[in-house]
Amino acid sequence: MGTYGDDGNSLVLRQRLMWRGYDAEIVRITLEDAVPDSCDVYTVGGGEDAAQKLASRHLSASPGLQRAVERGAPVLAICAGMQVFGEWFVVSDGSRAPGLGLLDVTTSPQATRSIGELVVAPQVDGLTQPLTGFENHMGATVLGPDAAPLGRVTSGVGNGVPAGQSVPAGGLGEGVVQGSIIATYMHGPVLARNPELADLLLCRALGVDSLPPVEVPAVERLRRERIAAARR
C-alpha cells in the first residue's frame, strides 16, 4: 500500500544508505508476488479500506513478513499498514476485518476524521527529536498491554479516541512500538521528515549502534517549517 506517497520511505532509506557507501536495493511487492522473508528492513504504507483488506489477505497467505518479524527484522508500518498489523480493524461498512496479529492493537472509527499536521514527542530509545508528519485517517487505534506508543502527541490527534469515548487523562498517544515493528499515522513520507527515525531503522537493519552523520539542510528547514505550522 502506498496511496499517500508512503513508498517514498523506501527511497529515503536507500538514499541514506548510499550516502554512506552501502549498496541498497528496493524490492517492491505487489499482490502478484510472494512476500520474501529475507529483506533487511520492511516498509508498509497506507491505503483505503479495499486496499487494506487485500493487503491483509495477501500477507496472511504469503507470510514472509511474519517470518521476518520473528527473526527481528525492522519494520515500518504507516496508517492503514499499522491497522492491518493489528488484531482487527473496522472498515467503512461497519464490519471488522481480521488483521495479522503482529501488533496488540485494534482500530475502530473516531467521531470525526483526523486531518492535518502532527507533532509527536518520541518515547523510544535512540529518538531525541520531535517527530513530524501529516495525518489523514478516520481510525482510532487502541493499544493492548503488549504494545507501547511511539510517542505522545504535542499537536494533532495521533492514535485518536474511538467514537463515544473520552481522551485519556494522560493525553493522546501516537503510533505503536512492539518488537521490531514501529508503526505510525504520520505520512510525509515520515522518513523524509524525520531522518533520525530513518537512521534508527537502518542501524537496526545493519546491526550497528550508529551511522556517520548526514547533513541535509533542506530537511532541517522542512522540519522547522512543518513543526511551526502545526503549532500555530
pLDDT in tens, 13-50: 999 999 999 999 999 999 999 999 999 999 999 988 88
What is the pLDDT at residue 2? 74
What is the pLDDT at residue 60? 95
Residue numbers annotated as active site: 79, 187
What is the pLDDT at residue 5? 85
Pairing mode, strands 105-122 and 88-90: parallel
Indicate whether 159 pLDDT > 90: yes
7-230: CATH architecture: 3-Layer(aba) Sandwich (3.40)
Q: Quote the cell numbers at residue 104.
A: 496488540
For residue 51, what pLDDT band results from cuts at 50, 70 and 90?
A: confident
Strand partners, 122: 151
Of 27 and 232, the one with more pLDDT: 27
Has 113 been labeled as part of a binding site?
Answer: yes
Q: Which helix (H) or strand (E) holds 78?
A: strand 75-78
pLDDT in tens, 167-206: 988 899 999 999 999 999 999 999 999 999 999 999 999 9
* Mean pLDDT of all residues belonging to the chain: 95
